[in-house]
Amino acid sequence: MSTPVPTPEIVHVHTLRVSCDGASEIRGGAALGHPRVWMEIDERGYVDCGYCDKRFILDGTAPDSETGKPGH
């Protein structure tokens, strides 16, 4: 008997700028979503959609992004 825990959906992305309409994965389910919003992933490395709580996580870093960072 599994407990139905409502875990927020997590999407791994490769760009800092992401869009969400809540139904991009649902075939013909645009009506089930929400108005498309654009968000930018901040220094935490992720951003949550304010409409559907979907979490977008920046997946990895570009090789050339390691250079130019002060310290570390």
Cβ distance to Zn ion smaller for residue 46 or 51 = 51
Closest CB to Zn ion among residues 25, 61 = 25
3-class DSSP assignment, residue 46 = strand
By CB under 5 A, tell whether 18 contacts Zn ion. Answer: no
Taking CA atoms, 67 is separated from 8, 14, 16, 21, 36, in Å, by: 34, 18, 18, 34, 34
Nearer to Zn ion, 28 or 35 (CB): 35
Binding span for Zn ion by CB under 5 A among 3-11, 18-26, 39-47, 55-63? 18-26
**Is 52 a binder of Zn ion (CB under 5 A)?**
yes
